[in-house]
Amino acid sequence: MIAEITTIVIPLILLLGTILSYFTRYDGKTKASLTLIYLIVVCWSIYVTYLVYTGNVIVAFGEEFRVDSLSALYLILVSSIFMMCLLYSYDYMEQYVENFGLNKATLKSYYSMLTITFLTLYVMSISNNAFILWVFVEATTLTTVLLVGYGRSENSLEASWKYILLCVVGLTSALYGTSLIYSYIFNVTGDPYKGLLFTSIGKYISSVEYETSTFALLMIVIGYGVKAGIVPVHWWLPDAYSEAPSPISAVLSSVVTGCGFYAIFRWFTILSPPIYDSFKPVFLAIGIASIFIGSLSIIGQTDLKRALAYSSITNMGVIALAMAYPPLGIAYAIMHLFNHSLLKATTFLATGNLEHVYGRRNSLHGVIADSPVLGFTAIASVIALEGSPPFSMFYSVLGVALAIGDIAITLIYLIGLFIGFIALTYMFIETIWGEKVNRNMKNKCPRLMVLTPLLLLTLTAILGLYISPLANMCWRCVPR
């Protein structure tokens, strides 16, 4: 029964939410129905995560769908962030459509696309089939591209085109790599099913020629790496993050970008050590390049959301660098993806509050004098994002340094992070403190918009104070 609810009932409920929000009039009843649907998914994800934490694995349809530790972590991450972004959107998007001269009726399509994005990420998280995983990672691009360009401004439409073109082309290479491994396993075993499921691929991938498997996996890293926004395939990310509505920026920067690395984790946690060792230089190069390019690009930015976008590139580099040092590095990479997703969603929502109140997100000073709560939330979320205690990000940033175990690489890693820390923190300190600017305030910030980033920030603080459950789950994601 649990397997059927997880793989059939919950996706159908999300599909119902998609249809309901699109074909009914946007009003209070629609909001209440969507909130209930999202809450059901959140509660079920918590329950499933509890089952997995206590040693269970949920399997359905001949292992086509499987919920293990990695799936459970991503499920609860996705559901939590979408719940907060939904609540945040109710007030934010009504002001957004007014600012861009859109009809309020278009909000039906917004909530429909938001819910179907939730559905695609949910199904992706529970998939044990390499091709189904690819389909739903690709689907997240097709659904969110409409949300990036929702404002229909010239800049947002340009950002949408960059996003869809680069991600579709990139993910094609991931499909090629997946197909190549599948075909070789089929040739070796004669069984068309052995090369489909990750639980089977791990048993037979060593039978694939070393050069072939290495090339195929390189295509997979490049393909899903475009989605993750790693250097040098990151060009779409700053534009998409900065031009999308803030709740969509929060979704993009956390779980949509994160699904690229989720797919890479799925592949690289099943590999044998000889194959994995050949990728250490690749992950080292990608990681260090992403950390430094992301951190240095923050310097001189005036747009808060664009600066946060470059911060995402830095953090994707941290994850890539950690993957060069298995198995401990992979565990900390998974933890860092989880922590970064929560905190990046928090910072984008907090920044969205400033944009909502002042009508812009640059040349702001003295926010904390106008609104201590908004100022505190913004600066605290950034400090937490940069790996400061007691927030959970501190442990993954420190853990990656410990996993590296090489003084030179560790020093390079810390210097790169320090540059990003100084640049981003300085930018937000300039924004939060200074001369009062209440004469430029255009709107009051609704309570629900204030509350949602505070809830996410509180969650990361609790995880930082009680890190053991998260650390145990991340460590169990890595086969040893």
Domain hosting 441: range is 279-480
pLDDT in tens, 353-390: 999 888 888 778 888 888 889 999 999 999 999 999 99
Question: Given a cut of 90, is residue 169 above it in pLDDT?
Answer: no
**Residue 343 belongs to some domain of the structure:** yes
Mean pLDDT score of the chain: 90
Q: pLDDT value at position 204?
A: 85
Higher confidence at residue 28 or residue 480?
Answer: 28
Q: How many domains does the chain have?
A: 1
**Residue 297 belongs to some domain of the structure:** yes
**Residue 161 belongs to some domain of the structure:** no
What pTM, to 2 d.p., does this model score? 0.95
**Residue 337 belongs to some domain of the structure:** yes
**Residue 2 belongs to some domain of the structure:** no
pLDDT in tens, 256-275: 999 999 999 999 888 766 67
Question: Given a cut of 90, is residue 97 above it in pLDDT?
Answer: no
Three-state secondary structure along the chain?
A: CHHHHHHHHHHHHHHHHHHHHHHCCCCHHHHHHHHHHHHHHHHHHHHHHHHHHCCCCEEECCCCEEECHHHHHHHHHHHHHHHHHHHHHHHHHHHHHHHCCCCHHHHHHHHHHHHHHHHHHHHHHHECEHHHHHHHHHHHHHHHHHHHCCCCCHHHHHHHHHHHHHHHHHHHHHHHHHHHHHHHHHHHHCCCCCCCEHHHHHHHHHHCCHHHHHHHHHHHHHHHHHHHCCCCCCCCHHHHHHHCCHHHHHHHHHHHHHHHHHHHHHHHCCCCHHHHHCCHHHHHHHHHHHHHHHHHHHCCCCCHHHHHHHHHHHHHHHHHHHCCCCCHHHHHHHHHHHHHHHHHHHHHHHHHHHHHHHCCCCCCCCHHHHCHHHHHHHHHHHHHHCCCCCCCHHHHHHHHHHHHCCHHHHHHHHHHHHHHHHHHHHHHHHHHCCCCCHHHCCCCCCHHHHHHHHHHHHHHHHHHHCCHHHHHHHHHCCCC
Query: What is the average pLDDT across 194-211?
Result: 85
**Residue 379 belongs to some domain of the structure:** yes
**Residue 428 belongs to some domain of the structure:** yes
pLDDT in tens, 1-18: 899 989 999 999 999 999
**Residue 333 belongs to some domain of the structure:** yes
pLDDT in tens, 382-440: 999 999 999 999 999 999 999 998 899 999 999 999 999 999 999 999 888 866 654 56
pLDDT in tens, 287-341: 999 999 999 999 988 889 999 999 999 999 999 999 999 889 999 999 999 999 9
pLDDT band at 25; cut points 50, 70, 90? confident
Question: Given a cut of 70, is residue 459 above it in pLDDT?
Answer: yes
